């Protein structure tokens, strides 16, 4: 029996090699996984042309995944450096990389990235349109927009963020309901501008079936972008954001009818007390489709530390139902991240994802923590470092400050409660002088 997409296969009762790989990673019965894919509650982004891919699943019952953003721009156009960042991201166990390139030899970089990456690759074709076509935004035609999408698909991209829900009705909501930060989505703002300049409907909304044709042909997972995501905590959960989310829910059903896999993108900047409600809204309005959140950043006053503000929000979001976290680095809002920023952002996002997986009861999540706690109870520093999410940093900190006694640290020394409790409970003599 033949199939066109992972969702098509799942609906037909076919277990694909990609499903088998994901089920093994997740320690899940493949029949359960297949049923979730058929329902649209799990996606397995896997372009037919991405031969180096190690498939991952995103959605209900699975580990929370993280995404890393990188790519070349006019101000920072070093392809080799961005490829080095991508290799570091894969080394640090990021499951996805989004190429946000918008200038220069974007296709050359994209093809090299897809060829070397075992992680799933995402793009935002709208970013590439102006740079690739070399035309003013107003002059780009509908056919040219779709040509860019197809080029990305041919190059092996596994998922694409396309802001299909930014239609003229949503645009009116933006204009009628003044925001503190307007539209902060780069792709969303470009589409909004194109619509206003040409007095036309969003081509990806108007010709949505044409987009679905391409997604079905290459098995692209459609990441329905949130053009109206809040760029400040003041703008969250406002009429424009909710208007767009309702539209995305409608577009989700249309995609599923064509066997196209769908993720929904979400906020953004958001106060702590609104996060759980927003996760519930997305799952309800978008029929349980996987939710991909950009943070959320929970306060706007910490530039230089937004990997932390994002991790706080990301942990709450994922524990409340989000499935996929986009990392944020310390350089967010300030500049393109360097290698050190990439690492800080990835570790922060992984901490958030893992903390949420413990809360959600994902199989194996708590076991890792229990192993670390056992190593601490045994005062086994070598084992603690090996189990650490970032063994390199843990090992460096241990080496920088050596204790008098090897089985303690310089915080407690001979007063180490782990060491002393073990001795007392074993009936041994105790000396802390």
Enumerate the known binding-site residues for Zn(2+): 269, 333
Strands 159-162 and 120-123, by their bridges, are parallel
Enumerate residues 6+ apart whose C-beta is below 8 A from 45: 55, 56, 58, 96, 120, 122, 158, 159, 220, 221, 261
Name the 3-class secondary structure at 44: coil
Query: Is residue 281 helix, strand or coil?
Result: helix
- The annotated binding site is made up of 69, 98, 127, 163, 185-187, 226-229, 265, 269, 292, 333, 409, 412, 416
> How far is the C-alpha of 373 from the C-alpha of 383, rounded, in Å?
10
From the annotation, which residues make up the binding site for substrate? 69, 98, 127, 163, 185-187, 226-229, 265, 292
Annotated binding site for [4Fe-4S] cluster: 409, 412, 416
Report helix, strand or coil for 151.
Answer: helix
How far CA 243 is from CA of 19, 173, 249, 382, in Å, comes to: 34, 8, 10, 53
CB 349 within 8 A of CB 311: yes
Rounded to 5°, angle at Cα 277 from 275 and 278: 65
Residues 6 or more apart in contact with residue 335 via CB below 8 angstroms:
none
How long, in residues, is the chain? 433
Q: For residues 39 and 287, give the distance between their C-alpha atoms in angstroms, rounded to a whole number.
A: 9
* CA–CA gap between residue 260 and residue 253 (Å, rounded): 10
Question: Does 268 sit behind a cis peptide bond, omega within 30 degrees of 0 on the bond before it?
Answer: yes
């Amino acid at each position: 029996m033949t199939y066109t997409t992972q969702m098509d296969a799942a609906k037909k009762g076919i277990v694909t090699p990609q499903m088998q790989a994901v089920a093994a990673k997740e320690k899940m019965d493949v029949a359960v996984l297949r049923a979730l894919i058929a329902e649209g509650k799990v996606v397995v982004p896997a372009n037919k042309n991405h031969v180096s891919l190690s498939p991952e699943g995103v959605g209900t019952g699975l580990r929370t995944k993280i995404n890393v953003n990188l790519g070349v721009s006019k101000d920072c156009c070093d392809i080799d450096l961005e490829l080095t960042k991508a290799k570091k991201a894969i080394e640090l166990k990021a499951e996805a990389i989004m190429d946000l390139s918008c200038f220069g030899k974007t296709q050359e970089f994209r093809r090299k990235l897809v060829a070397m990456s075992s992680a799933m690759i995402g793009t935002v074709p709208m970013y590439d349109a102006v740079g690739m076509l070399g035309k003013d935004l107003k002059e780009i035609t509908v056919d040219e927009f779709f040509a860019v999408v197809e080029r990305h698909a041919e190059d092996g991209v596994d998922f694409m963020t396309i802001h299909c829900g930014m239609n003229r009705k949503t645009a009116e909501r933006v204009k009628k309901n003044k925001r503190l930060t307007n539209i902060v989505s780069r792709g969303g703002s470009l589409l909004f501008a194109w619509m206003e300049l040409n007095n036309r409907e969003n081509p990806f909304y108007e010709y949505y079936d044409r987009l679905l044709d391409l997604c079905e042909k290459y098995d692209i997972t459609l990441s329905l972008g949130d053009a109206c995501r809040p760029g400040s905590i003041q703008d969250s959960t406002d009429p424009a954001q909710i208007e767009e989310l309702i539209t995305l829910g409608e577009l989700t059903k249309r995609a599923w009818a064509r066997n196209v896999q769908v993720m929904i993108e979400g906020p953004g900047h958001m106060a702590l007390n609104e996060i759980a409600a927003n996760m519930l809204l997305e799952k309800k309005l978008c029929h349980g489709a996987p939710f991909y959140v950009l943070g959320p950043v929970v306060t706007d006053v910490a530039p230089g530390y937004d990997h932390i503000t994002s991790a706080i929000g990301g942990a709450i979001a994922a524990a409340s139902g989000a499935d996929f976290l986009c990392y944020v680095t310390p350089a967010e809002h300030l500049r393109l991240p360097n290698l050190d920023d990439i690492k800080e952002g990835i570790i922060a996002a992984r901490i958030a994802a893992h903390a949420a997986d413990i809360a959600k009861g994902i199989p194996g999540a708590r076991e890792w923590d229990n192993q670390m706690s056992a190593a601490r109870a045994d005062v086994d520093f070598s084992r603690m470092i090996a189990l650490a999410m970032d063994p390199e940093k843990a090992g460096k900190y241990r080496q920088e400050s050596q204790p008098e006694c090897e089985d303690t640290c310089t915080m407690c020394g001979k007063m180490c409660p782990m060491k002393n409790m073990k001795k007392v409970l074993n009936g041994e003599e105790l000396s802390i002088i």
